[in-house]
Structure 1
Amino acid sequence: MGYSFELDDVEYLAGASDALAAVGDRPLTPATLVSDIGRIRSAFGDRAAALIETVTLRRKAATKLPFAGTWLVTDDAVQQATTEQVSRHRAERLRGRRIHDVTCSIGTELHTLRSAADIVVGSDLDPVRLAMARHNVPDVAVLRADAVVSTTRGTVVVADPGRRAGGRRRHDPAALEPPLPDLLDAYAGRDLVVKCAPGLDVDRLDLASRHTRAEVELVSLDGAVREACIWLGEVADPAVRRRATVLRSDGSSWEVTDADSDDIDDDRAPGRYIVDPDGAVVRAGLVRHYAARHGLWQLDPRIAHLTGDAIPEGTAGFEILDRLPFTEKVLRRRLAELGCGSLEILVRGIDVDPALLRPRLDLRGAVPLGLVITRIGRSGVAFVCGPRTGPQRNE
């Protein structure tokens, strides 16, 4: 467990830039930590723990929240905070709106929203996080209020329910804080945007029965699925129920929705390549829509692996070298013939652990290859492939 900040810590840290700079000059690495703590305690007494925690968390947040170098933060807030590129994407969808972030925490979302919103206000129940938010985004009004009690009118409500307990993610909508069903009920009929973990089972919420305009957007960044975002009311696209948005750190992006065609040929043999769709496409249930856009088809209608004679730009794929029945003996012999020394293994539709399978294949060569293990019909199939081309897989 990290340091538990109190209000007097926040008050002290808000005016302790010199002390924080001095602590920031220390390496605070495993090799130096004992001596660093001793020197910091000698200089700053009982404030040492709060100073060390703040500096450590700022370093931890640097990649995810590059603007937070002078912020006051907590460990839970940093873990839950949205990566800046994803937050900016949401802010653009809300540009020009009046926005109330009802779970504003230390202000990370407020920081991004204020650049796009007409008006933005934040609220939270935690007095320590509110005090930090006032320090971090002093130009935004924040107040103490329960997220499930409406305190503004004519605003788009943005919420990010707490989804961690004891360091573990919660995947039950009713186990979030506040519970997601309660949040949806509290703002029934209102324009509402709710950030959720990408693994959350939003189908259990029956959003269509709650609002005539309801959209679920799965967002990935550089190949890693970051969040599921629920859009309700006027902020939702009336023609869309599911959307996959793929962002890249270079500023490029693309999306696919269930309003796109999903007309593909289900009765074709595998093409030259196996295509590994972005995780946002898979989790949004839009594999067929993505395939139709790019002239691809599925290896099996129940499996997310796609195939075709070309790999779409910006998407990962593998050139098929051989197709084999999935047995370890056959695989081991074929990989040895090809001189395989390193192997990326993708598995869908079959209960196989790549980490356990790889050492049993006894790879002794020098050639990098790919292996796609899947099911076509009732049969387990292994495709021996060339190495991955395109973006690396980050999930």
Structure 2
Amino acid sequence: MGYRFTLDDVAFLRSPQGLDALDDAARLTFGASSMLADIGHVRSRCAPHDGAVVETVLCRRRGRAKLRAADDMLFTDDALQQATPSAVARRRAEEISTRLPGAVVHDLTCSIGAELMELSRQEGISGVIGSDMDRVRLAMARHNTALDGSRATLLAADALTSTSSADIVLADPGRRAGSSRVFRLDQLTPPLLDLLDVCSGRPAAVKCAPGLDYRTLRDTHGFVGQVQITSLDGAVREACLWTERDGEPAQRATVLRTDADGSVRSFDVTDHEPDDVAVGEVGEWVIDPDGAIVRAGLVRNFAHRHGLWQLDPRIAYLTGDTVPPGERGFRVLDVAGVTDKELRKRLTALDCGSLEILVRGLDIDPDRLRKRLKPKGSRPLALVLTRIGRKGVALICEPGVRVP
């Protein structure tokens, strides 16, 4: 659960004394061997707010890979876990400014303000409002949005109560109950269907967990907007429900990739693209599409775009003679059955050492299989296990490579 912050804690952290305490604590390691001594040092300087200082320093370190201004932000542990990564929030802010130039945007569940910070940076957005019921998180959002001179207006309000006439609203219902994640639509906070009702009548973007059952949302609850599944550097981050489509695709996958210089490239795949692809024999390469494409149900659309084909119509692995730019492919060396005896024989013949194992369509645990195979050679290889029809097939490949 993490440390439970109070408004007094936040006020202290924003004060000159608190900022000095944070700078001092940031120089400590808080490692296993020094934890007690480091905590004692902080307590001697700033009790009774020492817990807040320690938690903030640790949250900032965890947040660096996710949020661009993490080293100066205030968080709770739960808020950091649910905060939208800066690259994902920036892409959404850019999209809003393109869809609705000059719009006023209201984030109904702004929490610590991570999304507000990116919205405020967009020149095409004329105003930003953030609201939340949690006054501690609102106080943190005031600090965070002030870091880069944000023009956000913040207020305490229930997401299910209309409090503005903004042109578009955002929401990110809570996906935790205590220390556990929740997955049912009615277990979110506030409940997803109630939130969609409140948002009806104007454009809205509602962020949800990437495992959202969007088919039930469409078939049972009548959702007719766009479902956008977004990944960042190979990890599927969220599903975003855009309530107004205006002729745009019903399904969209957005793939974000961070380059070595820190810039972010992106591409979209949608159900407006053709999806007629062949099913055929194994080609020179096997490609495992990005998780956003798989979750969005757009594997065939992606395959058509790049001239790939499927090994089995119900399995997401693709194959072809080239690897699409930016994607990871595995060059096929051999095709085998999936019994331990046959795999051990084939891998030994190829001098297999380290072994990456990918599985789709078969009930095989990669870690347990690797222990049973006991590869002892010197050559790194990859093993792609899948099902073609009713038959299990093993594709023995060179290690995966990403094409520039």
TM-score by length of 2: 0.92
Deviation at 1:165, TM superposition (A): 2.6
Distance 2:58 2:65 in 1: 13
Structure 1 counterpart of 2:39, one-letter code: I
> Relative to 1, partners in 2 of residues 1:129 and 1:391: Cα closer, same or farther, differing over 3 Å?
farther
C-alpha change, 1:166 and 1:355, in structure 2 (3 Å) is farther
Residue of structure 2 in register with 1:107 after alignment: 113
Match of 1:4 in 2: 4
Greater shift after overlay, 145-154 or 343-352? 145-154
265, 272, 285: which is aligned to 1:259? Answer: 272
Once the two structures are superposed, residues 54-108 of structure 1 have per-residue CA deviations (whole angstroms, 9 ceiling, x without a partner) of: 1221122122112132222111111001111111100101113211000001111
Shift of 1:172: 1.4
1:183 to 182, 191, 195: 195
| 1:342 maps to which of 354, 361, 365 | 354
Letter in 2 for 1:36: D
Match of 1:373 in 2: 385
| 5+ long unaligned stretches in structure 1 | none
What residue number does 2:135 align with? 127
3-state SS of paired residue (1:313): coil
Matched residue SS, 2:72: coil
- Give the paired residue count: 388
* Corresponding residue SS for 2:330: strand
CA contact (8 A) 1:103 1:124 kept: yes
**AA aligned opposite 2:243:** L
CA contact (8 A) 1:86 1:221 kept: yes
What does residue range 146-157 of structure 1 map to in structure 2 within 5 Å?
A: 146-157=158-169
The answer to whether structure 1 residue 241 and structure 2 residue 250 are counterparts is yes
The residue aligned with 2:333 is 321
Which residue identity lines up with residue 26 of structure 1 in the other structure?
A: L
3-state secondary structure, aligned to 1:293? helix
Q: Could you tell me how far apart the structure 1 residues matched to 2:296 and 2:197 are? A: 24
Of 174, 179, 185, which aligns to 1:167?
179
What is the Cα-based RMSD across aligned positions, in Å?
1.7
What is the aligned partner in structure 2 of residue 307 from structure 1?
A: 319
1:218 aligns with 2:229: yes
Q: What amino acid maps onto 2:239 in structure 1?
A: A
Q: How far does residue 8 in structure 1 lie from its aligned partner after superposition?
A: 1.2
Distance 1:276 1:336 in 2: 25
> What is aligned with 1:231?
242
Q: Is the 8 A contact 1:189 1:211 kept in 2?
A: no
Alignment of 1:49-88 (within 5 A): 49-88=51-90
Given that 1:181 and 1:205 are in contact with CA atoms closer than 8 Å, whether structure 2 keeps it comes out as no
- Contact 1:219 1:228 (8 Å CA) reproduced: yes
> C-alpha distance in 2, partners of 1:191/1:209?
18
One-letter amino acid of the structure 1 residue matched with residue 132 of structure 2: D
AA in 2 matched with 1:163: R
Deviation at 1:131, TM superposition (A): 1.4
Contact 2:286 2:320 in 1 (8 A): yes
Gaps of 5+ in 2: none
One-letter code of the match for 2:267?
W
Give the conservation status (yes or no) of the 8 Å contact 2:226–2:243: yes
Distance 1:49 1:240 in 2: 48
TM superposition shift of 1:210: 4.5
Percent of aligned pairs sharing the same letter: 52
Whether the 8 Å contact between 1:215 and 1:237 is mirrored in structure 2 is no
Q: Deviations over 1:252-273 (max 9, x none)?
A: 211110000101123x222111
Question: Any conservation in 2 of the 1:197–1:228 contact (CA below 8 Å)?
Answer: yes
Distance (whole Å) between structure 2 residues aligned to residue 42 and residue 65 of structure 1? 30
Q: 1:141 offset after TM fit, Å?
A: 0.8
Quick one: which amino acid aligns to residue 305 of structure 2?
Answer: R
For the Cα contact (< 8 Å) 1:217–1:228, is it kept in 2? yes
Question: Please, which moves more after superposition, 35-44 or 175-184?
Answer: 35-44
Q: Quick one: distance in 2 between partners of 1:273 and 1:2?
A: 46
> Which stretch shifts more, 292-301 or 247-256?
247-256
